[in-house]
Amino acid sequence: MPDTPKPRILIDCDPGHDDAIMLICAAAYADVVGITTVNGNVGLHHTTRNALAVAQLLGWDVPVHAGAARPLIAEPVDARQVHGETGMDGATLPTPTRTAPGDGVEYLLETTRQEEGLHLLATGPLTNVALALRIDAGFASRLAGITFMGGGALGGNVTVAAEFNVFADPEAAAITLTADCPVRMCGLDLTHQVTADQDLLDRLRAIGGPAAVLTTEIIETELAAYGRYATSSPEPPLHDPVALLAITHPHLFEETATPIHVELGGVHGRGTTHVERRAHPGASATEAPSTRWVHHVDGAAAIDLIVEACARWA
């Protein structure tokens, strides 16, 4: 049996601890055409530098382009309390020897004009994706689909109801969820099925090599941060790698095609995603929704894949 070809993908991200682990998995399991960065966990300067540094650590000559430095409308928020001032606190990374051009949105548009059928993975606020969708109406239809880490059906991590990537730019998420292509949401209810623990650390420490060492440093830092502030679980979810694996290993996931809406107003509700879960939906139902709620993953298999990805650099 011939191997299934790796999916060809574009990645839009805001590294960020779990984004960095996602990049390791992407380098192992996908054919990554290019990476764009966005303001999110920390400012654009740091997320771009971190993407370049992770690629360099892996010996990976992937194009990196910086995108939006601010959300569409919202005031910027960040997640320094989790990822630290640099976005990668606790991790030992090389100083990047290259820089990234600042044309991230144009890069996304131009790349999809040259090659149709790429899959777009977004693991930060959706600002770049929304800008590309608004600038060029054909952008979505040139993609095979968009998969994003964000939102969720069972509550938030920034507020009671809102998840960070959607909360950081709710208007961008709302635009993305109306894109003219399949849009898959990998929210907190999914990513909390794949968490880091001491057993994972032991497995990574036994591997060695730059990817396993980086992932170990990240998880050690996150375990300490979660011990300080987490309200939901003491074990950090591996959010962004899960969204990558939903593209590269879809057989491990279950999803339902259903309408998903973003709350743009409200005192406590801004940035909340509403997933239609009723058996007999009302007026919000459409004949064939293009949005898909990814709600289940084989967590043990996902952890094994993260370990196997790291082992490729041992």
**What type of residue sits at position 311?**
A
Whose Cβ is closer to ligand BDR: residue 167's or residue 313's?
Answer: 167
Terminal alpha carbon distance of the chain = 27
Q: What are phi and psi of 149, to 5 degrees?
A: -90, 120
123: enclosing H helix or E strand = none
The active-site residue out of 46, 192, 239, 295 is 239
Which of ligand BDR, Ca ion, none sits in contact with 84, Cβ below 5 to 8 A by type? none
Minimum distance of ligand BDR from residue 203's CB (angstroms): 22
- Interface contacts to ligand BDR, rule CB under 6 A: 16, 18-19, 41, 79, 82, 123, 149, 157, 163-165, 239-240
d(CA 133, CA 95): 33
112 closest CA partner among 92, 137, 90: 137
Q: Kindly state the tokens that stand for 273.
A: 């995603």
d(CA 97, CA 80): 25
> Is 239 in the active site?
yes
Which of Ca ion, ligand BDR, none sits in contact with 79, Cβ below 5 to 8 A by type? ligand BDR
Which of Ca ion, ligand BDR, none sits in contact with 163, Cβ below 5 to 8 A by type? ligand BDR
Cα distances (Å, whole numbers) of residue 241 to 60, 71, 101, 215, 229:
18, 23, 25, 11, 22
Which of Ca ion, ligand BDR, none sits in contact with 157, Cβ below 5 to 8 A by type? ligand BDR
Binding pattern for the stretch 17-56 against Ca ion, x by CB under 5 A and - elsewhere: --x-------------------------------------
Whose Cβ is closer to ligand BDR: residue 29's or residue 164's?
Answer: 164
d(CA 213, CA 204): 7
Minimum distance of Ca ion from residue 23's CB (angstroms): 10
Other beta carbons less than 10 A from residue 92's beta carbon: 11
Minimum distance of ligand BDR from residue 82's CB (angstroms): 6
Site residues for Ca ion, window 239-278 (CB under 5 A)?
Answer: 240
For residues 242 and 191, the answer to whether their CB atoms sit within 8 Å is yes
Binding-site size for Ca ion (CB under 5 A) equals: 6
Which of Ca ion, ligand BDR, none sits in contact with 136, Cβ below 5 to 8 A by type? none
d(CA 70, CA 25): 27
Whose Cβ is closer to ligand BDR: residue 207's or residue 242's?
Answer: 242
Does 124 interact with Ca ion (rule: CB under 5 A)? yes
Alpha carbons within 13 angstroms on the beta-carbon side of residue 6 total 14
Which of Ca ion, ligand BDR, none sits in contact with 176, Cβ below 5 to 8 A by type? none
Whose Cβ is closer to Ca ion: residue 56's or residue 123's?
Answer: 123
Does 16 interact with Ca ion (rule: CB under 5 A)? yes
Whose Cβ is closer to ligand BDR: residue 25's or residue 82's?
Answer: 82
What letter would DSSP give residue 273?
E
Does 84 interact with Ca ion (rule: CB under 5 A)? no
d(CA 87, CA 81): 9
Strand positions, DSSP E, 132-286:
143-149, 183-186, 253-257, 260-262, 273-275
* Binding interface with Ca ion (CB under 5 A): 14, 16, 19, 123-124, 240
Name the residues annotated as catalytic: 239
